[in-house]
Structure 1
Amino acid sequence: MKKLILICLVLFLGTVAFATLEISRAQGGVEVTTDSILKLRAGPGTRYEDLGRIPAGTTLIAFARDEQTGWVKVEFEGKAGWVNVAFISFKGNLRALPIGDAAPPAGQAPTGGIGGATPTPPNSTGAPQNGQIESMTLYAQTDRVDYYNIVYYSDGLRIAGFYAEPRSPGKYPAVIYNRGGNRGTGALQGYEFAPFAEMGFVVAASQYRGGPGSEGADQLGGGDVNDVLALIPLLKSRGQVDPSRIAMFGSSRGALMTYIALRKLGERGSSDIKVAATTSALTDLFMWAKERPDLNGGAYLELVGATTSGNPAAFRARSATYWAGLIRVPLLIQHGDADTVVSVEQSKALGAALKRTGRSYKLIIQAFGDHGLFTHDEGYPETMKWFQQYIGRSGDNWDYYYWKDAILNAIGKLRKNW
């Protein structure tokens, strides 16, 4: 009888201890939600053992973090493990979490996460950091600008991209240029961002994972957004960049990447991006599926791994109309009313959502504008006026029409070079 009482007491105390642990975690933790299917790792890095998969849209409590706040510790289906901050949304301050200890995997060193998107040199183990440049090859020069092919790191993947900087020494504003398309479709050819470069900006642009020359798989606004975020520490590591004047621009799918990147930066309390502009923005994947019914059985399934009805959380996480209030950067939205690829109604819906939340934005509907806004100089004149308003300084001349001849000459040269 005494033995039975002792066993019951042990079980009771164990239950109380477990419940207390769970309550303390919830009270001291941060609620996080996975943006896509996510691996649960045994430690804070991609070289740790894979403990399982967490479905997209799963809400968990994070109760510890690594030193860089690039990974957080959660519990899923009875297993405690680590997830990469780049692939989650969260409510609360991750940096307030206690630092959890995790021994490195045998014979290996863990790779870090994105952390706060600040420049970091290679660590003592030699593991590549997000934004670290592996190679940089000059492919063209104009009178004013050097143009480079680059390969840089993002989540341990080698990502292809482009970099352009003025040939004259000095500190310059910078812009992250986010391309449209997916995988090889719409891939950059090395001239698309020339207007920014020729007007005096340092430019960084990504082909994204799964694109030409890049490792990994395109996820249409999933983990590939980290390839955009990694360009921030890349730019900050360059001596010619004024880190107080970094902008972001995206067109079509690149606008979707811009919106998600801005949301993630806002959630982390980062002010690295001072202003942003988009054209012909892919804003709501549910609306786009109605405009193009072929997407659910095609590109959505291939890139997101689901349909809008099968995993709506994954598509909400990629659709800015659902979380417009989380975009805290002054935003210019341009869209043509004759766009047959992405309806102007998507940008109108985002504009309405931004207005409801009191965010700083401007919506311009370009009359007779197609998807490329080619009859409106691709939206550059208005974009430069918007950038001037927020990061321009005395002496800057960002009048697109003043530079237009030089820009067209540069584009012609870059096309031939390519």
Structure 2
Amino acid sequence: MTPVNATHDPARHSWVESANRPDTDFPIQNLPFGAFERNGEPRAGVAIGAHVVDLRALRDSGLLAAGSDAAIACEAAGDGTLNRLMAMPPRYPGALRAALSDLLKSDSPQRASVQQHVQALLPRIDEVALRLPCEVGDYTDFLTSLHHTERHGRYKGLADPLPAAFKSLPIAYHGRASSLRVSGGEVRRPHGQYRDANGQVVFGPAPALDFELEVAAWIGEGNALTQPIAIDAAHAHIFGYSLLNDWSAKSIQWFEQVLGPFLGKSFHSSVSPWIVTAEALAPFRKAPVPRAKDDPPPMPHLHGALDQQQGSLHLDLYAHLSTNGLREAGAQPVRITHTHLDNLYWTFAQMVAHHTSNGCNLRTGDLLGSGTISGAADEARACITELTDAGRHPLRLPNGETRTALEDGDEIVLSARATKPGAVSIGFGECRGRIAPALVDRQAEIAA
């Protein structure tokens, strides 16, 4: 685990004024990494307040000491993606983050020199096009909330709503990396097969579209094939975290699911554009919630002393819903979910250790989804299916609208906040997507 250091100092402020606002996701204590397009060229960057540090411009500025770990790390991000940087030992991105913190702090000795390059170095985030932060080779989605899993088992009428293996290992399926998209834009309603209200199997636009609020871990250094990652070494392989919306066509998923989710999930998954590094989250480390006394203890390869001490985070997570009706009335999005990372039964280190326990090799840029982070409380239900008790009790909005599933024009905005007394609160940025109508001629095209 990266220790708390000078970059986390709550007394540190930035000369970038927007980074000092109490509501910013990106104070100087955060400095998350991402990728964007500027003047038609891919760039890698670091968010600070309302701005992004262009790492290619930083490399060319001469502000970093030649040959230093920070300069080497900055050079690795020069191709506009983060894969090379993420693959490096943690000391290199850590050195770059520390150097940026020193350059951007309000009492920086280099402040005047940095501000000479400010136009090239610090475009506004809203003036650039954000991209996926790295190239994703593989995407694995876990099922690690007991409450989410148990509720869905009940909705399906299972005698035992929890799968037999749930408390023995982190259950997962292999997702589709090709349809991962950065936050923003449209999420097209998919076509697929499902049972209609009369029990007939039909093909058409999915009627039961849902969001799922998740956290994603990004793999930095990978492991060699046949070489498992020990649980207390797993955190060193996680570069950082983002928000993930695992959009789900529940009508398709529940009909097709035998080996696991397929077309009900693979049409679109949204990820927030910024990777909040494991180092930035060091002040917010905490012990995971203890298991119930009658639960089986984890196998030795899934139990680590360090992970049991610091394997979770003080992290609140939110989902807001906006509809056409709310926007036409000038109303703000409505908060429909407030949950916490404590609602995961398994830690991310346990996910990594389990994933590699058979010798499977993880690679730089692989994405691991936590699964829907639902809790026991009503407000902690992290998808529409749970919020409506599988459609039995429609979700009621302040303007009188109701929902049992997402409708065309509905927009989901996910957010998160790490908070702890004595530390500066940091955020993750938004993970946003708006439902677009299904392509009306798609069924005819497929039939033809």
What's the TM-score, normalizing by structure 2?
A: 0.29
Structure holding more helix per residue:
1
Higher relative contact order (CA 8 A, sep 6+): 2
What's the TM-score, normalizing by structure 1?
A: 0.30
